Amino acid sequence: MERLTPPWLGFEILTPGPLEIARESLIDYRIRLHGIPIRWRTRISVWEPNKRFVDEQVRGPYAMWRHEHRFEETVTQLGDPAVRMTDDVAYALGWGWAGRLAHRVFVRRDLEKIFAYRERVIGEVFANRLS
């Protein structure tokens, strides 16, 4: 998880390792968002190895956070086997008008930057494994 998270977030897993990911696993971690330390706990609510998993916020900065990771076998244009990874995130900030303003000013932009970083790193990791 650390490798897929931008360094500017200061991501740190707090759950003692080694982590065992399974349905109902709880993972505690800390990030620094705009210099503010935030503790976050997620629960793996769905675990279907090699197909998908879902992490949901139990405690953290959002009123609601649900992140589904899906993996689908496919082939490239050249006919080589490949895996398509898709992230679906649903979230709510809460905080009324202040949450709506925060979303417009920085939350949406930050999430776009985080997922663009993840996409780039995943592409680099798998490109290096194929070469």
pTM for this model (two decimals): 0.82
1: in domain = no
Question: In this structure, is residue 51 part of a structural domain?
Answer: yes
The answer to the question of residue 108 being in a domain is yes
Q: How many angstroms separate the CA atoms of 70 and 60, rounded? A: 23
Within a domain: residue 47? yes
What number of residues does the chain have? 131
Residue span of the structural domain in which 79 resides: 7-130
DSSP-based helix, strand, coil % in the chain, nearest 5 = 30, 40, 30
Question: How much is the pLDDT for 10?
Answer: 92
Q: Does residue 67 form part of some domain?
A: yes
Q: Decide if 114 is inside a domain.
A: yes
| CATH number, domain containing residue 23 | 3.30.530.20
Structural domains counted in the chain: 1
Q: Would 2 be classed as within a structural domain?
A: no
Per-residue pLDDT of the chain (131 residues; tens, 9 = 90+): 888 899 999 999 999 989 889 999 999 999 998 888 999 999 999 999 999 999 999 999 899 999 999 999 888 888 888 888 899 999 988 777 777 787 788 888 999 999 999 999 988 887 755 54
Give domain status of residue 78, yes or no. yes
Confidence at residue 29, expressed as pLDDT on a 0 to 100 scale:
95
